[in-house]
Structure 1
Amino acid sequence: VPQTSDLAKMNQRLVEASSQFKMKQGKGTIDVWWLFDDGGLTLLLPHILTTRKKWKDCKLRIFIAGQPERIEQDKEEMQELLKKFRIKCADIKVIADINVKPSAESWKLFEDMIEPFRLHDGSKETTQAEALRKEHPWKITDAELDTFEEK
């Protein structure tokens, strides 16, 4: 059962969070990782953001998956697609090594970074694992990590 002081803290955090998006963003960059053709929705949503008063000073920077021998061609094709959608973009970055496995050092950095957000439910009994998932639904389960390991 939450205490009165806990509820007051939660209410204050909700007020702060709700007012966060009322302030103008200022200059910045919205990064878009467009890794496959999804019909353009991944490009459209950030573009719509830049048409709003809060985000109007932000630029779009788009990262696309490409192939080492086609970097310029991939970039030109993306420029044409953006032109067709009438989306202004500050920069397009072609990631040519997107299909290369990460180095052991990079993998270790990744694991260290997500460690505080891991549930480690695979090593727990079923009832304990379910309780952990209910208590911390935002944490990464072992199954989720396995599912997305290839990505």
Structure 2
Amino acid sequence: MHSKLTWVVFAIAATCVMSVTVPMPTTTTIQPMVYEIRPKILQAKYFNDDYQNVEGGAVVLKSNLPANVQTQLATSLTSIYQSISDPMQRLQQFQTVTTRMYPVYWNVVSNFDNITYYSQYYIYLQINTDRVLAFGIS
């Protein structure tokens, strides 16, 4: 009986130790940094004293994205505002831009008083008198 148990344990251990060779992809893609998914609360009134009206380019009020991505998204939002007048189309276009930069699911909202949301990534911007929040989750 003892020898059968030894062989069973050995067979299980040998099965667990076996290695599998998986081919590596030939191309490397850059993945966004991963942040913890947790609830966030944002109240627009916290930023009211900072920027009443931003003329010209968009300004990043708050974000957890890398600085270079923040700059690119602010520039993109500025371009969108210069070329599109419809508020809904602006949000849809900004959602497309954020998705191209960071391939996760993005939601975009504007001009809110309070919001609670789950996200890994977010960027909160102001352009003119509009506040735009984009938040992404994988």
Please, what TM-score do these two structures have when normalized by structure 1?
0.23
Task: Mark the structure with the bigger radius of gyration.
Answer: 2
Please, what TM-score do these two structures have when normalized by structure 2?
0.24
Q: Which has the higher helix share?
A: 1
- Structure with more contact order per residue of length (Cα contacts < 8 Å, sep ≥ 6): 2
